[in-house]
Chain A
Amino acid sequence: SAVISQKPSRDICQRGTSLTIQCQVDSQVTMMFWYRQQPGQSLTLIATANQGSEATYESGFVIDKFPISRPNLTFSTLTVSNMSPEDSSIYLCSVTGSPYEQYFGPGTRLTVT
Chain B
Amino acid sequence: QKEVEQNSGPLSVPEGAIASLNCTYSDRGSQSFFWYRQYSGKSPELIMFIYSNGDKEDGRFTAQLNKASQYVSLLIRDSQPSDSATYLCAVRTGAGSYQLTFGKGTKLSVIP
> Which A residues form the contact surface with B (CB < 8 A)?
1, 31, 33, 41-45, 48, 90, 92, 96, 99-107
A42 near B102 with CB under 8 A, answer yes
- In chain B, positions 1-57 with a C-beta closer than 8 Å to chain A are 32, 34, 42-46, 49, 51
Interface residue from B34, B42, B43, B103 paired with A42 (Cβ < 8 Å): B103
15 A-B pairs (CB sep. < 8 Å): A1-B46, A33-B98, A42-B103, A42-B104, A42-B105, A44-B102, A92-B43, A96-B98, A99-B98, A100-B34, A101-B49, A102-B46, A104-B43, A104-B44, A106-B42
> Which B residues form the contact surface with A (CB < 8 A)?
32, 34, 42-46, 49, 51, 88, 90, 98-105
Chain B residue at minimal CB-CB distance from A90? B43
In the bound complex, residues from chain B placing their C-beta under 8 Å from that of A105 are 43
Interface residue from A43, A44, A100 paired with B49 (Cβ < 8 Å): A100
Chain B residue at minimal CB-CB distance from A45? B99
Q: A99–B95 Cα gap in the complex (Å)? A: 9
Closest-CB distance, B48 to chain A (whole angstroms): 10
B88 near A43 with CB under 8 A, answer yes
A102 near B98 with CB under 8 A, answer yes
Closest-CB distance, B44 to chain A (whole angstroms): 5
B100 near A102 with CB under 8 A, answer yes
Q: A33–B100 Cα gap in the complex (Å)? A: 10
In the bound complex, residues from chain A placing their C-beta under 8 Å from that of B100 are 43, 45, 102
